[in-house]
A and B are shown apart, each in its own frame.
With several copies, the nearest count.
Chain A
Amino acid sequence: MDFSRYNAAEQAQIQAMVEQKQMKDFLKMYQNLVERCFNDCVSDFSSKAVSTKEQTCITRCFGKILGASERVGERFSELNQQMMMGQQQ
């Protein structure tokens, strides 16, 4: 996203807004991650302890989600860049 059309005072406010939004989105991403991995890995409620098998699943689920999120981020940025280039021509 390109905010260069705004003046410096506005850019400062926008920058603060972006940072606050990133913080909020990071929290939400974390909460979604917990919910998803719990749903995918835990379905035995015969005990209240997390089993070794469940723990392994959660660690892998965590890795998969971060990996996927990173990869989506790369492609997303590239495609956005391309689209903005396309618009300027």
Chain B
Amino acid sequence: MAMWGGGFGAGSQAVNPQNIAVAEQELEMVTDLFNRISNVCYNKCIPPKYAEDTLNKGESVCIDRCVAKFMDVNLKISELLQKRGQEGGGGVPGVPAATS
């Protein structure tokens, strides 16, 4: 963090902090998604019996389908959320308003 803000030596081009913030958020979302999928699909597909140290056929196939399904559900829920957002006043709840 402390390293940002200078000295990256890309000549005279200006860095727009807004762009960096957007990229940071995008990166955050993609890695979070990947980490969640890894975890959820491990739970769903790999029983903790550990009879060998590599994925067997069934586990591999399960993982493939699990990843596809998770990304599908992710998309479907983002659509539901958008629909809800358009329909109605305020719609999407989150953290309750925090300032006076």
Please give the residue numbers on chain A whose beta carbons come within 8 Å of chain B beta carbons, in ascending order. Answer: 1-4, 6-18, 21-22, 25-43, 45-50, 55, 57-77, 79-80, 83
Contacts and interface: CB of A to CB of B under 8 A. Distances in A.
Nearest to A67: B55
Interface in B38-74: 38-46, 48, 50-55, 59-74
A interface majority secondary structure: helix
Interface residues of B, number: 74
A31 to B, nearest CB: 6
Contacts, number: 208
B interface majority secondary structure: helix
Interface string B76-100: 1110110010000000111111111
B63 A71 contact: yes
A76 B92 CA distance: 17
A33 B46 CA distance: 14
Contacts of A32: 39
Interface in B9-36: 9-11, 13-16, 19-20, 23-36
Contacts of B39: 32
Contacts of B42: 36, 65, 68
B67 A76 contact: yes
